[in-house]
Structures are given as structure tokens and as C-alpha cells.
Structure 1
């Protein structure tokens, strides 16, 4: 039975408006000093976020800037907030930010980052240190939140920053880096579902070497499945993560930072449930608990170089290589949900996906700050080079039928799996960019331009549905830009206006053999930001209108092909408050109203809302620090109804979930008890897939700093 709730999230909008009005007469913000060297400080765009408000960011531009002066909607979640809310996965980190619908395909025990952002699905829209981590099949980069200093959600067109991307924005994960002050922390975690973990974060200056800093972050965790299915034994998951980094300043002005990471993950492939034709639940697992497995290994090595010339100009370089190898074994429904025969039997098939990914990034950038007349400039220009190689082998075979009234999981013969497709995909993207941030008194402007060339090559060596040894090659290019202006008023308010464009490559050919052109996006956004003089509070409001053109839609002449006449329009409002109401009381609040519409299409989705995109979302988190080291936190997350199919006939009901926390600090000790989904609501997030939501989750963490 579903629990339905329809609160009034607009109350949060009123709260934000009143807060902005009440503090509008505070003094103008002082300028923020942003570290330009490679060793992050408390004020740097990659360093630690004290409390719930980051002062600066480099995700929205090639040059770090004061967050309140960035003319684009941006949310930053730092480690302090992650610990307060008991965050484990990247999805959990961003679920209190506006515009984001996390886990639309259900709770994923693998730790992958799946979400919709401003209405668009972005399963591959995640970035690490500003570099795109391409995904292929079930091979995707998994982000270890304990190894991240912050996670930044940039909403709106971002192609001028990263090239090929969705118009709705990106999520950028920023790695922990060495710093001069000592970091000595060890921790242990316990939780329901047999969860247990050990972690450590160590770092500081190398003894006797002031110009060398190091950091070592590591975490090992195991847990059982929270899924509850009839006749199916739970399968445990475990993963290990280690990330050593070192920073060296061999001569004055030169900084070298080497970042490495390894992650190994093993667990079940998926926990999809069979859904009856009347949309009621069966509590029957679709896959086989013995056959199902997800084995995932990833590694990354990156070198960041910064050199400061005598005249104040900087040269920056990022060189990174990442590797992912994944194997996914699972069983699936042959005819989809609701396909049981009168006796309750459901046909299934087995699959094995073997994915290997190689990502290589190389960014060169020159930047400098100077003045011409009364105009201050922060100029950056450079080249962004990205290469991706994906290797995929897909095998299929028979799987025994399962009876949803009396489920018995019989063994799947792995020898029956037959190679269906094998091939490789190569992507080459090269972008040239220039950006200039201008400041004229209280006025600011952001001018950015980028040109990209993208080449995609596919080589299919084995295929059961097409000729073997098939080569295809596709070349595209696009020019994108951004113009943003803002004005700092005497009362501290900073209104802004932003216009940006994006492009996203699309693979394939139309009926006449012509390659598809990139989808093109454009967005206009207006808003206002306000930050208190102490930098501990930030209020933001944004109104946006974005359009995506050249969208693929069925060819009216031959439905087996597509044409590029589709269009999607998205309009919305986003409000966010990160406010220190007192020294002891903190507030996080967000509200989103996102109206999506397929404005042009030859399919059944014409005039419909985008799938898995709720119109209304809201969240509220309050935490209070009591005397003698105690503290409490309480939060709520509301997601309005959305649709699981393009025709908008399958409705995923609205939900309101409650989270809570209690902590105690004493000297070097810090203990935290976090509970998410306090009411243990048990439901399906996506009726089209049969994706169960995460039930009540309880974690107890104890950290010791020395």
C-alpha cells in the first residue's frame, strides 16, 4: 500500500523570501581571497568547506570565483554537511539540492550516481575534478564520497566548460587534496543490514620537507542487502577504496600534485521487482540471487601542475587517466512488467555484460588577472583534450521461468550464454576555450566561448543482428558560449542574468544514411544571490527557461528510423537557503518547480512531461548543537509525482521522507547516529522498472582525530 502525501512545499519559498528580506540591510560582503596556488587553503575553490557554505568555486568557470558572484545556479555540498547527514553515496550527497531527483531507478547498492537534473536524465553527467568520466554499458565511474572534499551541482548549460554535455547541467566531484595542516582521522561505522566499515584520512607536511604535503584516504565497507524478496537470499556487497596523493613545490611558483585512487566493488547486479499488470507489488526478485553479480574495479592517476609567472600569470595543466573494468551478470524479464501468464509464470532471460573503459584527459590553460582602464579582468584560455575507449562484450542465454506466486530460483546455466555482440567505441573530443571575467565597480560580467570537435568511431567485431567486423565513424563540431552579468547592490543582494548554449552528440544515422547532428541546447536564467558578511549563510533564487533541439523522434515515413525534429522545453524556479540562523542552529532548505514538456515529437510523448521528472520537489534540514557537545538534526524530502513512461500513463506517486541525526563531540571523539527514511516507507520508485526505494537506513559512525 502506498503512502501518499501532498504537503505545501511553497512554504519553503516563503521562508527563503522572508530570510532574504530580513537580512537585506546587512553590510556589503568583503572580497574573498582565493588561493591561486596548487595547495588548497580554507578559502580555495578545491579546499575544505567550513560549515554548509563554500566561499568559492571553479566548477562554473575556468577561473575560481566568489560563489555569490557566479552568474549561474550552483550548489556545493562539503564534507561537514555530508557527515552531518550521514552521506555514503554521491546520490545521498546531492538529494537535498534543488533541481535534482536522485535514484529515479531505485536504490542502487552498487554506489553508482544516477539522477535527473532539471528534468533531463543524466546517468553519464558526472565529473571528477572538472573532467568528464564517460560511461559505457554497466561500466561507469563510482565516486567515493569519503574521498571527495566537495560535490558541486552546476545547473544550466555547461558545454562552454566541459564540451559535450546535457543542457541541464553537471555534477562535479572534487577530490581531497593535501594541505599543510595535519589531518589525522580514523573511523569505524556500523549499521543495519550487517553494515560495517573502517576508514582513515591522514595527511600534512612530510617531516622536514615544508614543500611536500601528502594525504592518504582509505575506506573498506561491507553490508548485506536491504532488499526483501520472497524466496530470495540477500547477497552481500563489499568495496575497498584507497587514494594516496602528494603535493610538491620544487621551486618558487611551481606546484605539482599527484592524485591516485583504486576502488574494488563486488555485489548484486540489481534488485528489480516484478510488478503486476495492475501496478501492485509481488515481492518477487526479477533476477537470480545466485547468478546475479556486479564485479567492478576502477583506478585513476592524475597530475595537476600549476606554475605562477613573475608577472602574476599562471599556467595550469591537468593530466589524468582512468580505467574501469566491470562484469554484470543478471536475469531480466523477457516480456516486461505485468507479463505473467494465468498460472503466474514469468519468462526470463540471462545476460552478461563485460565492459572496459579507458578515459584520458589533458587540459592546458593560461590565466591571468590584469586591469585595462577601470575594468578588472580575470582571463583564461586553453585547450581541453579528451580520449575515451570503450570495450564491450554482451552475452545472452536462457533463464528458467519463475512463478510469482511461489518463486523458486533454479540455477542458470552459465555455459548457455552466447556472445551476442562484441565491439569497441572510441571518442575523441578536442575543445578550445577562452573566458574573461570582468569587473567594473559593482558590475560583473562573464564572457566565455568554446569550440569543440568530436569524433566517434565504432568497430563491431561480432554481432548476431548485423554483419560482423563493421566500422562506423562520425564527426561533429560545435561552438558554445555563455554570457553572464551580475550587480552587487549596497545591501548585499547580487542579482544576475545568464545566457548559455550547449551541445550533445548523438550516434546513429537517419533513413537516408546521414549521421545525426548534435542536439543543441540554450538557456536563459535570471536570479539573485545573497551572502551574509560572515560568509556562513547563502540564499539563492533562480528562474530559468531551457530548450533542447535536434532531439531524435520517430521517422513518420519509417518507424525503424529517427529524424531530428524533436524539441523539449523546460521552465522552472529553484530556491535554496544555506543559513546559520544562530551559532547553534543551521538550516538547509530547497524548493524546485520544474515544468517539462515535449514540444515537438512524432511519438506518443508529444505534449507530455519528461519521464522521472517531478514538477515539485522540496527539502528542509535543521540541525542544532546543544551544550556539552550534543547535537540533533531533522530533515524532510518531498518529491512530487512523476511518470515512468513517455505517454504519461504510469504514475509514480508523490513521497515525503524524513531523516534524522544525533551526534556527540568530546575532545578528539565524534560519534554520529544517522537514520534516513525514518518512517521506513516501503515503495517502488519507478513502476516501469520495478525499482524498490531504499527503506530505513541506520548508521552509527565514530571518528577519532589525533
Structure 2
């Protein structure tokens, strides 16, 4: 039987292969000699161009050299601390439109979701510690608890890891977050951004900077945004904002910048869907869908108004001494109404989803418990901060000394309650009509509950159950008019 026998040594070169190699070498050697002879002869008659050297500093907009906070005086390379800077160019390229979306790319930061029932603003955890009070805006503490839902007026975001109380104040155990606002520049430019997407996503932004003279510049940022939520029938987010600013004395020793920001958010929040983990159910109850809305769409709302006026005065007495004074007046109003999907769910099998006991209305959800949980808050903040920067020498050692002080007054008011009740708690309470578990838009009550009254609000939004009872509307109106 024939088989292949392994050989440890290479086969001898055949005679015809050796002849081919000799012929190839004979052709290559003369060609190489001719090329060498041609290379030795210098070219004559060719024009010799003068040598040109170009030098320029490369600008990397995605890698800033220094933070904008006046309390840091050295470049990032010479600062012995881990600092992550997210410039506006990176935020635009990655389409990070909110603070939470931007910070989600920074290691060590996590976010709370749902704790406290919503309405408490951004819940940011930095290295295991809450960082809600570790946020500064242009180096000044931004202590209000609200949703920073849009970054249209931010030049960059600076995240400092580790203990940061020297720069950010008491309580900065895990780190600090500094937001840098856009300010006028010494150039003319204009940028417009348009965005369209699925689930009714639409976004428009504009950033225009104009020189009004040699030392004066005006900058205007505007934004309009709206989107639904994938997989949800009713939940939606809408907002708009405007931020004008003007600088006098641009590129001179004395500068004065005036800026204003207004942003309005109008959202329809989603509180959740019926979900039970017990001996009778293992998650979303039968018949319900994660896209359903079990609240009251013309009552549930989240409204946020942000108004902020800032004055920055900067003066350089010399190359080694500078003073910067910043004054800010800020007011943030938040109003939230949500209806948790609490009550009794009678499944199609005729049993309650909570404990499996028999029920008389299969396929019906009867709301009970919290009725229009409401949070109405207002935060007023007035602050002044002064920073002195001095450079001096002792022998051959350079020093930079930063000192300063700040004064602030903050007023916070909060009203909690239930909107879907009569003013003053008078009985009987408004009756909340039941909903169909599979389709919350469908009523299982007499039709008179859907009648429109002259002073009841109407809506054409789809999904959810409209509440048009005048008692409910009056109760919500009385709750909102209650003085803070």
C-alpha cells in the first residue's frame, strides 16, 4: 500500500530550476549595474526649488490644554489630578444633548433612576457618593436639584476625580463637575443644527457670534427639541431655550460679560406599568403591555423653568495680578404631577394580580392609593464670587496663588400633595374611572364620565385615560395656586 513518507531534509534542487535561476541572475545583474551608473550621473538642466519650511501649532478641539475654572492655573499636563474634559465639539459629534448623556461616557459615574418617584432632577453618583451638590457652573456652585436636560449652551464639561473640596467647596469627597457656559468670541461665525429621527425626534439649534466692534462681541444660542420615547404610547419630552450674551472689552485688560439663560421643559412623564413578582405573576401582568400608559395624560406633567442672569467682571492689573468677580441671580421652578399605576388589577382569569383572589370585573384596572402625586418647588439663588490670581517668585521658584471669597443666599420652597382631590380635602373625593388593562384608553364606566364640561380641559393626545371632571381640574388648579 502506498503512503507518504516524511522527510527531514529538503529535496535537491532540480536541474531545470537551477538553469532558470542562473538566467534570471544574468538579467538582473546588468540592469542593476546600468541603474547604478545612471544614479552616479547628476541631473543637469533641472530647476532647483528653494526649500520651504512650514510651522504651525495643531489645534485639537477634542483635547483642551487647560480647564476654564479660574481656580486652576496650570495646564492639564501639569495638574496632579485626574480631570476629564468634554468639549462641545465632542458633545456634538456624539449627539450628547443632556448632562446625563454626556457624563455617561465618563468612568466612575452612575445614575439613579426612579428613586423618590422622579421629579428630583439629575441623580448623579460619583465613585459611590452622591454628586448632586458637587456641580458648579462657570466655577460657581449650582446647588439646585433639577434636570439639566440640554447642553446647548455649554462650551465644555470638566469632571475632576477625587477629593476636590479645595476647588469645589465642602462635600466634594468623590469629585466635582464644572459646567462651562458659552461666551462671546473675537470672531464671526454661525452654526445651525437640524435633527430628525424616529419616534417624532426633532431638534433645532443655532449658535451665532458677531463682532460689534474691535472689543465688543455678541453671542446667541437657541434650541428647540422634542421627542417621544421608543416603545411608549404617551411619554414625550419637549423643551426650548435661549441664551444671549455680550462681552465688552474683549481681548483687553478689562472685560465685562453679561449673559442670560432661559429654558422651558414640558414633559409627559411615565411612572410605570403593572408589575408583580409573586406566586401568581412573574413580571408584567397578563394582558398589559410595556407601551401602555396607566396615568392620566391631560393631568400628568413635568414642567421646568430655568432663568439665570450672570455678570462677570475680569480685570488684569498686570501680567502677574488678576481679579475676577462673578454675580449670578437664578430661579428654577418645577411642577410635577404623576399617577402611579396602583390599585387593583382584575385579570382576564377573574383573579387579582396581587394575591390571586377572585374579582368581579375581569380585564379591568381600578385605580386607588396616591391620586395625582404633586411636587411644586421653587429655588432662588443669589451669589457673588471673587477670585484673585497672583504670580510671584521666591528665588528661582515660580508661584501662583489663588485666593477668593464667595457670598450666597438661597431660598428653597417645596409643596407636596395630591392634585386629584377636592380643595381643602373635602369629601367625597373625585372618582377615578377604571381602565382596561389591555387598552387603558377604553372605559368600563358609564359614558357620562367622558362628557366635556365648559370649564374642563380637553385633549386629543392618544393613549392613556383622559380626566375631564371639573372637580379634578379645580383641585389641580388650587394646588398650583397655593403660595410657596
The answer as to whether partners of 2:229 and 2:235 remain within 8 angstroms in 1 is yes
Residues 250, 76 of structure 1: alpha-carbon distance in 2 compared, 3 angstrom cutoff? closer
Give the counterpart of 1:217 among 217, 221, 234: 221
Aligned-pair distance for 1:363?
0.4
In structure 2, runs of 5+ residues without a counterpart are: 1-56, 346-351, 360-364, 422-430, 441-463
The answer as to whether partners of 1:347 and 1:401 remain within 8 angstroms in 2 is no
Higher strand share: 1
Question: Which residue is equivalent to 1:523?
Answer: none
Aligned-pair distance for 1:94?
1.6
Aligned-pair distance for 1:419?
6.0
- Where 1:68 maps in the other structure, the secondary structure is helix
Question: Which residue is equivalent to 2:62?
Answer: 52
Residues 250, 405 of structure 1: alpha-carbon distance in 2 compared, 3 angstrom cutoff? closer
- Where 2:274 maps in the other structure, the secondary structure is strand
Aligned-pair distance for 1:92?
1.2
Question: Which residue is equivalent to 2:327?
Answer: 319
Q: Partners of 2:343 and 2:81 in 1: how far apart? A: 44
Aligned-pair distance for 1:186?
1.5
Residues 250, 151 of structure 1: alpha-carbon distance in 2 compared, 3 angstrom cutoff? closer
Question: Which residue is equivalent to 2:311?
Answer: 303
Q: Partners of 1:281 and 1:141 in 2: how far apart? A: 29
Aligned-pair distance for 1:286?
5.2
Q: Partners of 1:164 and 1:286 in 2: how far apart? A: 43
Aligned-pair distance for 1:293?
0.7
Q: Partners of 2:295 and 2:314 in 1: how far apart? A: 50
Q: Partners of 2:89 and 2:192 in 1: how far apart? A: 16
The answer as to whether partners of 2:374 and 2:416 remain within 8 angstroms in 1 is yes
Write the mapping of 1:579-598 to structure 2, written as runs, cut at 5 A. none
Pair 1:291-2:299 in alignment = yes
Pair 1:280-2:283 in alignment = yes
The answer as to whether partners of 2:271 and 2:341 remain within 8 angstroms in 1 is no
Give the counterpart of 2:381 among 352, 359, 362: 359
Pair 1:386-2:408 in alignment = yes
Q: Partners of 1:319 and 1:364 in 2: how far apart? A: 9
Aligned-pair distance for 1:275?
2.8
Write the mapping of 1:67-466 to structure 2, written as runs, cut at 5 A. 67-102=76-111, 104-105=113-114, 113-135=122-144, 140=146, 142=148, 144-206=150-212, 209-228=213-232, 233-249=233-249, 252-277=252-277, 280-282=283-285, 283=290, 284-285=292-293, 287-310=295-318, 312-332=320-340, 340-342=354-356, 347-349=368-370, 350-396=372-418, 397=420, 400=432, 405-406=437-438, 408=440, 410-412=465-467, 413-416=472-475
Question: Which residue is equivalent to 1:467?
Answer: none
The answer as to whether partners of 1:111 and 1:142 remain within 8 angstroms in 2 is no
Instruction: Tell me which moved more, 274-283 or 356-365.
Output: 274-283
The answer as to whether partners of 1:269 and 1:292 remain within 8 angstroms in 2 is yes
- Where 1:161 maps in the other structure, the secondary structure is helix
Q: Partners of 1:167 and 1:401 in 2: how far apart? A: 49
Q: Which has the higher contact order (CA 8 A, sep 6+)?
A: 1
Instruction: Tell me which moved more, 153-162 or 369-378.
Output: 153-162
Write the mapping of 1:661-700 to structure 2, written as runs, cut at 5 A. none
Aligned-pair distance for 1:379?
0.4
Q: Partners of 1:190 and 1:403 in 2: how far apart? A: 34
Q: Partners of 2:122 and 2:128 in 1: how far apart? A: 16
Q: Partners of 1:173 and 1:380 in 2: how far apart? A: 20
- Where 1:82 maps in the other structure, the secondary structure is helix
Q: Partners of 1:348 and 1:378 in 2: how far apart? A: 61
Aligned-pair distance for 1:142?
2.4
The answer as to whether partners of 2:236 and 2:269 remain within 8 angstroms in 1 is no
Aligned-pair distance for 1:236?
3.7
The two structures have a TM-score, normalised by structure 1, of 0.47
- Where 1:144 maps in the other structure, the secondary structure is coil
Residues 203, 109 of structure 1: alpha-carbon distance in 2 compared, 3 angstrom cutoff? farther
Q: Partners of 2:74 and 2:382 in 1: how far apart? A: 27
Residues 310, 196 of structure 1: alpha-carbon distance in 2 compared, 3 angstrom cutoff? same
Residues 211, 336 of structure 1: alpha-carbon distance in 2 compared, 3 angstrom cutoff? farther
Aligned-pair distance for 1:281?
3.5
- Where 2:102 maps in the other structure, the secondary structure is helix
Q: Partners of 1:392 and 1:419 in 2: how far apart? A: 12
- Where 2:214 maps in the other structure, the secondary structure is strand
Q: Partners of 1:374 and 1:161 in 2: how far apart? A: 27
Q: How many residues align?
A: 367
Q: Partners of 1:273 and 1:335 in 2: how far apart? A: 12
Residues 362, 411 of structure 1: alpha-carbon distance in 2 compared, 3 angstrom cutoff? same
Residues 73, 348 of structure 1: alpha-carbon distance in 2 compared, 3 angstrom cutoff? farther
Deviations 1:31-53, CA, capped at 9 Å, x for gaps: xxxxxxxxxxx99xxxxx94422
Q: Partners of 1:121 and 1:274 in 2: how far apart? A: 30
In structure 1, runs of 5+ residues without a counterpart are: 1-41, 44-48, 425-706
- Where 2:383 maps in the other structure, the secondary structure is strand
Aligned-pair distance for 1:103?
5.8
Q: Partners of 1:395 and 1:314 in 2: how far apart? A: 50
Deviations 1:474-522, CA, capped at 9 Å, x for gaps: xxxxxxxxxxxxxxxxxxxxxxxxxxxxxxxxxxxxxxxxxxxxxxxxx
The two structures have a TM-score, normalised by structure 2, of 0.67
The answer as to whether partners of 1:359 and 1:387 remain within 8 angstroms in 2 is yes
Aligned-pair distance for 1:173?
1.2
Q: Partners of 1:271 and 1:288 in 2: how far apart? A: 11
Aligned-pair distance for 1:402?
6.2
Q: Partners of 2:226 and 2:118 in 1: how far apart? A: 11
Aligned-pair distance for 1:235?
4.3
Q: Partners of 1:166 and 1:402 in 2: how far apart? A: 48
Deviations 1:562-590, CA, capped at 9 Å, x for gaps: xxxxxxxxxxxxxxxxxxxxxxxxxxxxx
Question: Which residue is equivalent to 2:75?
Answer: 66
Higher helix share: 2
Q: Partners of 2:241 and 2:434 in 1: how far apart? A: 37
